[in-house]
């Protein structure tokens, strides 16, 4: 009890210590963000060709030093962008996993900030003490097809020892040449992580990686922990309760763990989920604000006063979130009524060019899900699951869909429309009804993990809501959260 009191007291002191100049700077950064936001990249599926013109812009800018420091397997360039005259080197690298680009976008926002004529006093304070180095896209081949691994099939973040990949060798060589004092290892994590024992998503998760199995804390790792405490206090202003602490089990092959071991105070940042932010643009903003603020406190060395014990007060993150959680719904099976919770997720399926996606939803779990949470939660007390029917009229083609009112069909109990001819290149339904081919046989209805969640919800014998491909639709006032239904052939 006494220990918890001391930690709480230290946290209060820390919070108050951030209420002066640093808090003012953070607020100014947040409020002025749109001025520096790089508008040419505003979605997760960004490619090397999209960032190269931005890098070229800084190549011709005397404020910055830009060097090609390596090449990917498919010969895409890996560039390092540096600015500052200080003796303390800070190295930031992003997108070693090709499908984790949130911080890549934030890096270009940060570069725009340093290229502006604003915040002169603060920038002078940073750049006179620090030299900043940005490697914005370590795995451009993975980014090209929006996949985690590189072209060789290697997880670059598990290549710190063998250095089998050219991208991993580049990262090691740059770190060693800089002998960086601080490192920011920038990633994305699943949107289904939550802050432990809360319904709030782990919008940002932090970690000061361990450098040995014993998880010892030396000065290098301790400094990383202090920076994380500082960043957590910033995020709490804009996403309260939405920060998690990543598991710190030592992984001997991981770059973060080894870079910590090699003497660089390493901060892992994982960008998770945020309500109604599928493209993670609000999380991008939080990266921008918290990273810039952390850079400022490194330059001022005010992080040194932060108590290490406050790091352990950040809740660990957990993975107990669904896109949609339905609570206490009645499910009729073999003549009996059962109460169920249903947890639904909406996995993304990339389009052929890897520039966009559609959703193919699944029931992930069912039963007692009282320890789980949802980005959207519907308490279905007094609602009964009703299987959907096939509309009796077969349409000749998808062009005829504009002749029907899908909401009225759902109210009448129809969740499937049969189409005589469906273009084989058509992957999903844009209206909230599943489309089926001429000969498709709809399976016998059952609620089961792994199946697509499509059913209706009735109350007092009247259908009021529909779940189509995992999207909840209120038939009395249809909303805009629906993305797509399925096509079954």
Answer yes or no: do 403 and 426 share one domain: yes
Rounded to whole angstroms, how far apart are CA atoms 182 and 242?
Answer: 25
Q: Is 6 strand, coil or helix?
A: helix
Domain span holding position 415:
321-488
Please state whether beta strands 317-318 and 321-333 pair in parallel, antiparallel, or not at all (unpaired): unpaired
pTM of structure? 0.93
Asked if 203 contacts 241 with a C-beta cutoff of 8 angstroms, the reply is: no
Answer yes or no: do 443 and 482 share one domain: yes
Instruction: Report residue 260 CA to chain centroid gap.
Output: 24
Q: Of the candidates 280, 296, 318, which is a domain's last residue?
A: 318
User: Which CATH number fits the domain that encloses residue 348?
Assistant: 2.30.40.10
User: Which CATH number fits the domain that encloses residue 227?
Assistant: 3.40.630.10
Rounded to whole angstroms, how far apart are CA atoms 139 and 175?
Answer: 16
Q: Along the 489 residues of the chain, how does pLDDT read in single tens digits?
A: 343 333 343 343 444 445 466 778 899 999 999 999 999 999 999 999 999 999 999 999 999 999 999 999 999 999 999 999 999 999 999 999 999 999 999 999 999 999 999 999 999 999 999 999 999 999 999 999 999 999 999 999 999 999 999 999 999 999 999 999 999 999 999 999 999 999 999 999 999 999 999 999 999 999 999 999 999 999 999 999 999 999 999 999 999 999 999 999 999 999 999 999 999 999 999 999 999 999 999 999 999 999 999 999 999 999 999 999 999 999 999 999 999 999 999 999 999 999 999 999 999 999 999 999 999 999 999 999 999 999 999 999 999 999 999 999 999 999 999 999 999 999 999 999 999 999 999 999 999 999 999 999 999 999 999 999 999 999 998 777 899 999 999
Domain count, the chain: 2
Burial of 73 from C-beta contacts in 10 A (0-12 / 13-18 / 19+):
middle
Q: Of the candidates 318, 347, 363, which is a domain's last residue?
A: 318
Answer yes or no: do 304 and 332 share one domain: no
């Amino acid at each position: 009890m006494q220990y918890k009191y001391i930690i709480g007291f230290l946290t209060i002191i820390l919070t108050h210590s951030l209420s002066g100049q640093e808090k003012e700077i953070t607020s100014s950064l947040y409020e002025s963000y749109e001025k520096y936001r790089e508008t040419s990249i505003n979605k997760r599926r960004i490619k090397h060709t999209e960032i190269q013109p931005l890098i070229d812009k800084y190549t011709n800018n005397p404020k910055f030093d830009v060097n090609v420091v390596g090449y990917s397997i498919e010969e895409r360039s890996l560039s390092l962008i540096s600015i500052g005259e200080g003796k303390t080197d800070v190295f930031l690298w992003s997108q070693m996993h090709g499908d984790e680009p949130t911080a890549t976008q934030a890096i270009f926002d940060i570069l725009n900030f340093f290229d502006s004529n604003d915040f002169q006093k603060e920038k002078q304070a940073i750049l006179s003490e620090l030299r900043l180095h940005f490697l914005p896209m370590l795995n451009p081949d993975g980014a090209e097809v929006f996949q985690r691994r590189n072209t060789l099939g290697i997880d670059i973040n598990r290549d710190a020892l063998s250095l089998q990949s050219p991208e991993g060798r580049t990262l090691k060589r740059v770190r060693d040449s800089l002998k960086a004092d601080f490192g920011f290892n920038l990633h994305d994590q699943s949107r289904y992580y939550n802050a432990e024992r809360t319904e709030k998503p782990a919008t940002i998760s932090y970690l000061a990686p361990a450098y040995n199995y014993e998880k010892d804390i030396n000065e290098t790792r301790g400094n990383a922990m202090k920076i994380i405490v500082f960043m957590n206090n910033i995020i709490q202003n804009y996403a309260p309760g939405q920060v998690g602490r990543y598991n710190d089990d030592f992984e001997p092959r991981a770059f973060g763990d080894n870079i910590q071991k090699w003497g660089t105070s390493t901060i892992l940042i994982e960008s998770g989920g945020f309500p109604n932010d599928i493209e993670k643009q609000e999380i991008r903003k939080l990266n921008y604000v918290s990273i810039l603020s952390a850079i400022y406190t490194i330059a001022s060395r005010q992080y040194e006063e932060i108590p290490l014990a406050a790091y352990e007060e950040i809740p660990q993150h957990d993975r107990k979130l669904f896109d949609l959680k339905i609570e206490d719904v009645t499910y009729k099976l073999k003549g009996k009524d059962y109460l169920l919770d249903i947890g639904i997720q909406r996995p993304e399926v990339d389009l052929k060019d890897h520039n966009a996606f559609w959703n193919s939803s699944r029931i992930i779990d069912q039963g007692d899900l009282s320890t789980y949470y949802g980005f959207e939660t519907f308490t279905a007390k007094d609602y009964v699951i009703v299987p959907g029917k096939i509309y009796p009229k077969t349409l000749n083609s998808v062009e005829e869909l504009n002749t029907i009112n899908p909401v009225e069909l759902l109210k009448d109990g129809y969740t499937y429309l049969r189409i005589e001819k469906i273009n084989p290149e058509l992957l999903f339904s844009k209206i909230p009804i599943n489309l089926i081919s001429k000969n498709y046989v709809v399976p016998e209805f059952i609620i089961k993990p792994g199946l697509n969640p499509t059913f209706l919800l009735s109350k007092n014998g009247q259908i009021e809501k529909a779940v189509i491909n995992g999207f909840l639709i209120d038939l009395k006032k249809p909303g805009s959260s629906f993305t797509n239904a399925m096509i079954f052939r």
